[in-house]
Amino acid sequence: VANPTAARLAAGRTGTVAVVVPVFDSWYFAKVVAGVEAVLKERAVDLLLYAVDSEAARQAFLAGRGAWWQRGDALIMVDVRLTDSESERLARSGSRIVTIGSRTSIFSSVCLDEERAAALAADHLMRRGHRRIGVLAGDPHALHFTVPALRLGGFCDALDRVGRLPAPELIRSGGFSVDGGRDAMANLLDLDEPPTAVFCLSDEMAFGALDEIRHRGLRVPDDVAVVGFDNHDLAPLFDLTTVGQDVESIGAMAGRLVVQAMHNPSEPPEHVNTPTTLVVRGSA
Amino acid sequence: VANPTAARLAAGRTGTVAVVVPVFDSWYFAKVVAGVEAVLKERAVDLLLYAVDSEAARQAFLAGRGAWWQRGDALIMVDVRLTDSESERLARSGSRIVTIGSRTSIFSSVCLDEERAAALAADHLMRRGHRRIGVLAGDPHALHFTVPALRLGGFCDALDRVGRLPAPELIRSGGFSVDGGRDAMANLLDLDEPPTAVFCLSDEMAFGALDEIRHRGLRVPDDVAVVGFDNHDLAPLFDLTTVGQDVESIGAMAGRLVVQAMHNPSEPPEHVNTPTTLVVRGSA
DNA sequence: TTGTAGGCGTTATCAG
DNA sequence: CTGATAACGCCTACAA
């Protein structure tokens, strides 16, 4: 029964991976971490968890006051924004890095094609005849969290290609939460000319939106159609049409990449693209 | 910028807490960990995450092949079963320990009064006139996971006190998952004499149960009443009556206890009881 | 093959 | 109070 701390000091390796998420108590991130954990456990690698839940926390983390890079020999950053200069500084820190949800050339990454995924939703809604389409997005000021911007951009681009770029008033922030989704939906429905369909950047926001719609006695999808994103475990119960992704396997893949990078630090970065599929149910 | 590994070896402290959960991608555990993480972050303590998702994994962990007690100087065990002899061995390992969801005299703990909480549900259903009450419980063979037995016991005791101990066929395992809850509910409804009410040991099982009930064209609460447990973020959307607990503050409390124990190892264990309240909505 | 000395980068102690 | 020095416990390279 050896002492890991001494072993680490002597060997110069910690056998530990740090996982950084924007928040923790959300379906998506819990699933991702579960996927990572399963892989790391079977490789006997420890998992250190950091939540970086604001831009200030993000900067503090990257400034490295806690010298996190000495605590683990690799880092998985899940949907946390990285500027180019920050990336380069990380690369120089010597720890192997894998990003989830965003892609930099110098690190391995596992992403889904946000543009294509959002286009799935856009095309579906267009095909069903919707022309006035709202969006429940993330908080544009949440700079630490990257995915929302990419996903929103992809959706707007897809609509733009057919000359249907949504008016700014149709894009609302739902903060990626159920309550936020409900409030944002309420705002959309209060418009003089409310949208006939709404694309939610996460299923959790869609759940809130559906609740608000029902609460007003409107019908889904006849009065308002709703498309979500994630294929949350509870999406079938809400009969929610959604862009599905296999979140646990995203985490597992990142875990595999990071272990690989630990064993073979000189390998070039590997970029994995994760599939998304439109899961059509009754809400759109 | 000091090297934490060397500091740990020299000081004999790691500044790290290990958190052990049965599973990870479930609403309850994600919230608990979020609560712990928030407290540990502000104390600059690292969080190591282990999932012990089976009895084999539990025993492997406690056998200590990975020498986890040298990796952190304290341990938070969330709803993981501990026998008396295991507890004593842990106590001798020298690391400070806090348990969540179960209580041992030698370690600090944060629990809710499972008996009282379950009685809230039992009394409510009795008061509404239900006499034939089913239960959606956990897998009785999931020995690594402690809470189900306590909660089930509390509920049955409460019914027993009024001479209404549920028949064995009315107690079904829903595996603490949405799909498990749906299947278990289906089994109950297929009985010759189905229950008029069901108590689900978690809201997630209740969601599945509600879905199955609706799917059969039955009415809630007239045909079948449903009470859940947790007050999940989505419980309001299902109009679910449930026994509510403040999960995040449970995690935060455990975090505080563990930090306190790290600074003051000689303090006697402290036992915190967390409140539960019946949140009455439309399902029962 | 088996054994041993040196060093990993701190902390903490003990002289000065 | 300041500054040198001995652990901390293991890994690894080198020697026997």
- Asked if B11 has any chain A CB less than 8 Å from its own CB, the reply is no
* Helical spans, DSSP H, in A65-108: 68-71, 84-92
% pLDDT > 90, chain A? 83
CA-based nearest distance B22→chain A, Å: 11
Q: Is the pLDDT of residue A254 over 80?
A: yes
User: Nearest-CA neighbor of A238 among A186, A181, A192?
Assistant: A181
The residue whose two tokens read 């600074």 is B263
Distance (Å, rounded) from C-alpha A189 to C-alpha A183?
A: 10
Stretch A242-248: mean pLDDT, rounded?
A: 97
Residue in the block written with tokens 């996971």: B145
**Is A23's CB within 8 Å of B34's CB?**
yes
Which nucleotide is nearest, taking the CA of residue A12 and each C1'?
C8
Model confidence at A149, pLDDT cuts 50, 70, 90, reads confident
- In this prediction, residue B5 carries a pLDDT of 95
Pair A276, A250: CB distance under 8 Å? no
Query: Could you give the angle at the alpha carbon of A77 between the alpha carbons of A101 and A172, nearest 5°?
Result: 45
Residues of A in contact with B226 (CB under 8 A): none
Distances (CA, A) of B33 to A33, A53, B139, B236, B247: 12, 14, 23, 23, 9
pLDDT at A233 over 90: yes
Answer yes or no: pTM beyond 0.85.
yes
Q: Do A31 and B25 touch (CB under 8 A)?
A: yes
Q: Considering only CA atoms, give the Rg of chain B.
A: 20
State the pLDDT at residue B92. 85
- A282 and B CB contact within 8 Å: no
Please give the interface size between A and B, counted as residue pairs whose CB atoms are below 8 Å apart.
Answer: 109
Task: Return the residue in A49, A92, A202 with the most chain B beta carbons within 10 A, the one to mutate for interface testing.
Answer: A49
Residue with tokens 């040298």: B70
Cα gap A208→A132, rounded to integer Å: 20
β-pair partners for B76: B19, B98
Q: Is A258 exposed, middle or buried (0-12, 13-18, 19+ CB in 10 A)?
A: buried
Opening angle at CA A266, ends A262 and A272, nearest 5: 70
- Structure-block tokens of residue B225: 């009443």
Residue A266: per-residue pLDDT: 85
Nearest residue to B148 via CA among B105, B124, B192, B184: B184
Low-confidence ranges of chain B (pLDDT < 50): none
Does the pLDDT value for residue A265 go beyond 90?
A: no
Cβ-contact B109, A84 below 8 angstroms: no
Q: Are B16 and B48 in contact (CB under 8 A)?
A: yes
pLDDT value at residue B259: 96
Q: Measure Cα distances from A172 to A64, A133, A138, B23, B149 in Å.
A: 34, 12, 8, 34, 45
CA distances from B253 to A211, A261, B31, B43, B122 (A): 33, 37, 13, 13, 28
Instruction: List chain D nucleotides near protein: any atom < 7 Å from a Cβ.
Output: 7-12
For B89, counting Cβ atoms within 10 Å of its Cβ (0-12 exposed, 13-18 middle, 19+ buried), the class is: middle
Q: Is the pLDDT of residue A112 over 80?
A: yes
- pLDDT tens-digit map of A198-229: 999 999 999 999 999 999 999 999 999 999 99
Distance CA B177, CA B206 (A): 9
